[in-house]
Amino acid sequence: MLGQRKLLQRLVPGAMHAFIFWGFLVLFPTIAIALIGAVDRRETLPWLGRQGWFAALVDLFCVLVLAGVVTAIAIRVIQRPARFEGSHVGEAYLILGLIAGIVVTLLLWHASRIALGWNEWPAGWSPVSRGLSHLFGSGETTRVLERVLVWAHVTIILTFLAYLPHSKHLHIATAAVNVWFGRTHGRGRLEPLRFDAESEADLRFGVSTVADLTWKQMIDAFSCTECGRCQDACPAHATGKVLSPKLLIMGIRDQLFTEGPALLTLQQSVATSDPAAGTALTPIVGNGVPEEMVWDCVTCGACIEACPVSIEHVDHIVDLRRQLVMVDSRFPAEAGTMLRDVERGGNPWGKPQTERAAWAEGLGVRVLEPGDPAPEVLYWVGCAASFDERARASAESTAKLLEAAGVDFAILGPRESCTGDPARRLGNEYVFQSFAEQNVTTLNDAGVTKIVASCPHCFNTLANEYPDFGGRYDVVHHSELLAELVRDGKLRPAAGDTQITYHDSCYLARHNDVRSAPRELLSRIGRPLEMARSGRQTFCCGAGGAHMWMEERAGAINEERVREAAATGAGTLAVACPYCTVMLDDGVRSSGHDLRVADVATLLAESLDRAPTHATEGEHHGG
């Protein structure tokens, strides 16, 4: 927060905000100095009020804050970025006007005191105020003006402070707290619901009204600056869907402001056992937040990454979904099919569990039976690579590479089932928890300690969410393990000159910081080219948040990403996620670009084979 790191990623608006913010910190003691000076013109804040260096800092930051205010107004009036659509722009002008008023009256007050010779600090330290002092004489008029200026300064400050709690600038008070409590690791983890909670107060089924918001969610809502950075980064918004993470948070905050008094009455009624109170609360979905917004989200986390005040939008969205799904039984019909398949068949593809290891036939892969000794590494294949034709090639390549490197590994075969991730992201926490408990029991009984997962969604669930259910394992992504094997010389790829662009999966690069291993592999086998949005700033393929099984409204996210990949000029689009494989291959087919989509494991295996390229998953190379 002090360094304004996230804001400074955009130079001009970042510098504007940094000037105002740092100015706020430096000028803070001048409030006390002005209050003392307003009451008694001969007094000032002990010690600090007489320091020349402090007067110099005040001069400097008054100018920088004014420059920041002018820049902020210019951005709104001249540049008019789309990210401000729906923000309270009028309120922003009022606040900017008050800030400008504070610094201008401060400078002029100091100038009038220098003109009168009343300055407690050496005037040479404050060149701006001294320059302005020439506007004043040294007679009675200036003495009156000095009083007028200090009281005008104090009045504007008090007006600002009184207005603050009712405006978006409440973030001045809450943002630091929000940043402090923001997640710094395990960002892909969702907070589990406690269905076994003993007290009714602790029993939550997500969020219906503002009374269900956690304290962090309330601070999130109060912290929004309406800057629109989240909206700019959101793939759903970029493709014309109703969802805007900014408007979603603003909607929750506005409802919290409107229904705050009723919420307090409700809490009082609970404390006094008066059942009559608190009935004025209304559901957030359908009031502050349109229902489409809740379903449009792909849980990619781009909004969280972009938000300068660490608002965690995905927690809000999933909590709203939890209420809709588990309490109101409201969800898109096609997502209901997926849920039914997971519940009945153990996977969202609706295929028999007995076919789960069919991809491994003839590869000599050990299928772990109950009572077998635990392997050094358990390969968690995941549903997509087990059942989807295009994603299977990645599992086959991974298995061949692990064999070639002499790794002691095995798969669970039919005893592996869905991690529960799609059900959880859709909002069905019941289904997720039953699968989590079942899988953790299987893994613990098998004595598993290390897992390699090729699906970033499985990876995220196993690494970040299963510890909440007693499953603690050393979980690595297949790209990390393969990069380690190449580094150790256990796999020796042949260098090539194919131009490859790599698509970072949101659940790998952004939620779990795995970015360098896939790139390390690709740099050994071809010539990597970066897309405009990569690493933590990656753009989703459109499959997360259970959208793999939902109809897409408005524009196609996968086509937008494929266009970006094609713009690099690369002929190969490398991925490290079976969902991305399927989605981007669909995007290539529907947009007609000449790109081959392939998993990094497949590309590595081909390089090792030194064999002519043959059809692999998602291949679409000249038909």
> Which letter does DSSP use for residue 504 in this model?
P
The minimum distance between CB 587 and ligand SF4, in angstroms, equals 17
The minimum distance between CB 510 and ligand SF4, in angstroms, equals 9
Distance between CA atoms of 341 and 512, rounded to whole angstroms?
Answer: 28
Contacts 24+ apart (CB under 8 A), 370-376: 370/415, 370/445, 370/446, 372/410, 372/446, 373/447, 374/446, 374/447, 374/448, 374/449, 375/408, 375/409, 375/410, 375/448, 376/407, 376/408, 376/409, 376/450
7 vs 517, which CB is nearer to ligand SF4? 7
The minimum distance between CB 357 and ligand SF4, in angstroms, equals 33
44 vs 225, which CB is nearer to ligand SF4? 225
247 vs 576, which CB is nearer to ligand SF4? 247
Distance between CA atoms of 130 and 411, rounded to whole angstroms?
Answer: 78
The minimum distance between CB 83 and ligand SF4, in angstroms, equals 8
Distance between CA atoms of 105 and 37, rounded to whole angstroms?
Answer: 13
The minimum distance between CB 299 and ligand SF4, in angstroms, equals 5
243 vs 395, which CB is nearer to ligand SF4? 243
> Which letter does DSSP use for residue 519 in this model?
H
What 3-state class would DSSP assign to 574? strand
The minimum distance between CB 69 and ligand SF4, in angstroms, equals 19
Which residue matches tokens 């007609």? Answer: 592
For residue 110 the two structure tokens come to: 């100091």
236 vs 443, which CB is nearer to ligand SF4? 236
Q: In what order do the strands lie in the sheet with 377-380?
A: 409-410, 377-380, 450-453, 474-477
* Residues sharing a CB contact under 8 Å with residue 266, sequence separation 6 or more, in sequence order: 211, 277, 278, 281
For residue 297 the two structure tokens come to: 């989200």
Distance between CA atoms of 533 and 501, rounded to whole angstroms?
Answer: 11
Q: Are 285 and 324 in contact (CB under 8 A)?
A: yes
156 vs 307, which CB is nearer to ligand SF4? 307
56 vs 317, which CB is nearer to ligand SF4? 317
Interface positions with ligand SF4 (CB under 6 A):
224-230, 233-236, 243, 245-246, 249, 297-303, 306-307, 309, 311, 313-314
**Closest Cα to residue 258, out of 291, 296, 210?**
210
For residue 70 the two structure tokens come to: 């002018």
169 vs 246, which CB is nearer to ligand SF4? 246
For residue 140 the two structure tokens come to: 């009675």
Q: Are 346 and 320 in contact (CB under 8 A)?
A: no
Pick left, alpha or beta for residue 261 (phi over 0 → left; psi -120 to 50 → alpha; otherwise beta): alpha
248 vs 407, which CB is nearer to ligand SF4? 248
> Which letter does DSSP use for residue 477 in this model?
E
**Closest Cα to residue 569, out of 528, 534, 523?**
528
376 vs 513, which CB is nearer to ligand SF4? 513
Cα atoms in the 13 Å half-sphere on the side-chain side of 41: 18
The minimum distance between CB 37 and ligand SF4, in angstroms, equals 36
The minimum distance between CB 114 and ligand SF4, in angstroms, equals 40
The minimum distance between CB 301 and ligand SF4, in angstroms, equals 5
Q: Are 589 and 566 in contact (CB under 8 A)?
A: no
> Which letter does DSSP use for residue 507 in this model?
I
Distance between CA atoms of 458 and 465, rounded to whole angstroms?
Answer: 10
The minimum distance between CB 152 and ligand SF4, in angstroms, equals 31
The minimum distance between CB 171 and ligand SF4, in angstroms, equals 7
34 vs 540, which CB is nearer to ligand SF4? 540
**Closest Cα to residue 571, out of 610, 619, 533, 524?**
619
230 vs 368, which CB is nearer to ligand SF4? 230
The minimum distance between CB 313 and ligand SF4, in angstroms, equals 5
114 vs 303, which CB is nearer to ligand SF4? 303
The minimum distance between CB 309 and ligand SF4, in angstroms, equals 5
